[in-house]
Structure 1
Amino acid sequence: QPAELSLDAGFSQKFTDKFSGGVAGRFVHSNLTGGTSVSGAESKPGIAVAADVSMFYTNKNANWGDKNGTFNFGMNISNIGSKMSYTETAARDFIPANLRLGAAYTMELDDYNDITFTIDGNKLLVPTAPVYDQQDGNTIVSGFSNDVGTATGIVQSFYDAPGIVDFNDDGTYSIVPGSIFREEIREVNLGGGMEYSFSDVFAFRAGYFYEHFSKGNRQFITMGAGMKYTVFTIDLSYLVSTTQQNPLANTLRFTLRMQFSDLSDAGDAVN
């Protein structure tokens, strides 16, 4: 029976009124195959350990003219960890280490109405497979070997895109000018959105996510709304894909949250 298990432990620290950070450790036990044979080889659960590192900056005095404003910026590097394999014979693969940068600006229109704008970027910190010679299949003609360790793979992921290689009938090849840089840029996924909030009770949201077609082609619009009552918040969102095929297309999600820090405030209000 396939099963997934992840155990996390984290620690966060506020350094100043504006800066904070955190670290987390993770143990992963992934049994996707349930012990069945894969390509003639006996399968086994994949096991990995990983860590996350994050930093956060906030400025509650980022005013815009006569409007009060708050600027937030965050960075997260997740899944820095060991490789994983599901068989004894297969090569160990990278787990999806990821770098995420995001910023948000909230403007207080008046005592009851706020509007927030957000933008973020994501990049996988795993090496890109190189392009090999078509004749022998072993010689790298563009890019770098991805048979490297975790630390090397993270650094290498910023410059190892092979670009577009044109092979000629005589066995020679050429790299399309500028294609290496363009591929590196295409490895960054972008997202943006906005939220309107009334009295911190009702909220309406919209966003867009873009991934280049050569890197997965996930492109979609999201719309959502939320309502808060005492310590409970309920959110719903709907995803509209802008590409022809997307497994998440027309997905409706509901989320119910409970804010424990608001329990004392709710008790004071009742008393």
Structure 2
Amino acid sequence: MTRFLLLASLALAAVPAIAQQAPEEIVLTTAVPFLQIEPDSRASGMGMAGVAVADNAYAPFWNPAGLAGQEGTEVSFTHAPWLPALGANLSYEHLSAKHGLGSAGTLGGHLTYFDLGTQTATDEQGIELGTFSSYEFALGLSYGYPVTENLSVGTGARLIYSNLTGGRDIGNNPTSAGTSVGVDLGVKYQGPELGLGQSSRPTFAVNLANMGPGISYVQSTPEDSILVGQPDAIPTTLRFGLALDTQLDDFNRVLVALDLNKIIVNKDPATGDYDPFYEALFTSWQSRLVKTSTNSGESCFEADGSENVDAECREVSGLRSLTLGTGLEYWYNDLFALRTGYFYEDPANGNRQFLTFGTGLRYSLVGVDISYIYALQENSPLADQLRFSLLLNIPR
């Protein structure tokens, strides 16, 4: 099988992180980008804002501290035909559950499965050698604990498995599935009553997700000039969230949420190696040299990592890798919800910009949520993206 197949598979998996690109690209792709896909249709209908909103079985993804204080048992499931605009037959499935332990806190668990479809294996001459399936999954546990009435903390860990090549060779190099682990830490603080409507309290939250070692799929040999054997970083993500939940009267409730997110990844321009996540916590904020034109064939760096003064490059702040999501949710009598939101990513960092819409129903022990993405760019692979979520509360 050619090297192209592995690289194409990686690119296909990474589409959500690089949906649209501009001349001044500072995009750093990672392995297993499916870990960044928002699993619930509630937050994905609110501009992908959920860090400070996390209050159900999806909290292990958004913020494990959101599990704290949750009582009872709930199971949730999300299905999404992924990137339908590409016609690639991808699908995303997510199963979550939480169980309250009373004053001892709340446990959560989740299973995420990302189906990359069927791939065709070829040799170096392009002759087809058969087909194989590519898929990835993550299995994790989380725990949230209320430190005080207003302050909660949480943590979680997940096992990550990525099978992109089906065990096929890349040139002379044997491949295998990649594995890693990711650890999460979260904090959630509920502020004082603001006196709006019947009740109104802000919530502040921070989550650092997927801290762990990189993934490697193949060990390169000295004869192999492409560094396909170098470990790729997993998408360590730092999220800041703010939410304001206001009960207007006995029947009407409005929630406003805002998230700022950053992928904590940094890559050495000379070696192509990724910094360990604990170093990237600091180095990922540094400014980077990027090309000012996609037509320029020269790299911004020399082989030794020094700046190429002849290349058409400029310095771009690391702050431009922040993404913003903001959303609004309206509930009537805690039975019916309408949602909308906006997501923004800098043109130099992927250029995803879209509106989101959603609705939700709650009746007895069952809840249903649906969300939809309206892309603001032409030919966006995220166009018409739908998510469907089902929540089931299990009585004691």
Q: TM-score, normalised by structure 2?
A: 0.57
> Which of 84, 92, 95 matches 2:231?
92
Q: Equivalents in 1 of 2:393, 2:178: separation in Å?
A: 35
Deviations along 1:84-134, one digit per CA (max 9) or x if unpaired, are 11101111111110001111101222111111111101100000554xxxx
Deviations along 1:40-60, one digit per CA (max 9) or x if unpaired, are 422111011220111111236
Q: Equivalents in 1 of 2:383, 2:146: separation in Å?
A: 39
Greater per-residue strand proportion: 1
Question: Corresponding residue for 1:268?
Answer: none
Question: Corresponding residue for 1:135?
Answer: none
Decide whether aligned partners of structure 1 residues 232 and 162 sit closer, same or farther in structure 2, where only a CA change above 3 A counts.
same
Question: Corresponding residue for 1:197?
Answer: 331
1:42 counterpart SS class: coil
> Which of 239, 264, 275 matches 1:125?
264
2:348 counterpart SS class: helix
- The farther-off stretch of 7-16 and 89-98 is 7-16
Q: TM-score, normalised by structure 1?
A: 0.81
* Rg larger for: 1
2:289 counterpart SS class: coil
Alignment of 1:27-66 (within 5 A): 27-59=159-191, 61-64=193-196
> Which of 276, 281, 285 matches 1:149?
276
Decide whether aligned partners of structure 1 residues 60 and 232 sit closer, same or farther in structure 2, where only a CA change above 3 A counts.
farther
Q: Equivalents in 2 of 1:211, 1:39: separation in Å?
A: 37
Alignment of 1:5-44 (within 5 A): 5-44=137-176
Q: Which amino acid aligns with 2:338?
A: F
Deviations along 1:116-168, one digit per CA (max 9) or x if unpaired, are 111101100000554xxxxxxx5x9xxxx754333112221112523567989
Q: Which amino acid aligns with 2:389?
A: T
Deviation at 1:190, TM superposition (A): 0.4
Question: Corresponding residue for 1:134?
Answer: none
> Which of 305, 309, 321 matches 1:187?
321
Query: Which structure is richer in relative contact order (CA contacts within 8 A, separation 6 or more)?
Result: 2
Q: In percent, how many aligned pairs have the same letter?
A: 30
Deviation at 1:238, TM superposition (A): 1.5
1:83 and 1:95 in contact (8 A); partners too:
yes
1:153 counterpart SS class: helix
Q: Equivalents in 1 of 2:274, 2:136: separation in Å?
A: 26
Deviation at 1:37, TM superposition (A): 2.0
Decide whether aligned partners of structure 1 residues 165 and 210 sit closer, same or farther in structure 2, where only a CA change above 3 A counts.
closer
2:206 and 2:240 in contact (8 A); partners too:
yes
What root-mean-square deviation, in Å, do the aligned CA atoms of Structure 1 and Structure 2 show? 2.5
Q: Equivalents in 2 of 1:228, 1:42: separation in Å?
A: 50
Q: Equivalents in 2 of 1:197, 1:147: separation in Å?
A: 44
Structure 1, unaligned runs of 5 or more: 131-137, 265-271
Q: Which amino acid aligns with 2:204?
A: F
Decide whether aligned partners of structure 1 residues 63 and 251 sit closer, same or farther in structure 2, where only a CA change above 3 A counts.
same
Question: Corresponding residue for 2:381?
Answer: 247
1:120 and 1:190 in contact (8 A); partners too:
yes
2:316 counterpart SS class: helix
**Aligned residues between the structures:** 244
Q: Equivalents in 2 of 1:176, 1:68: separation in Å?
A: 52
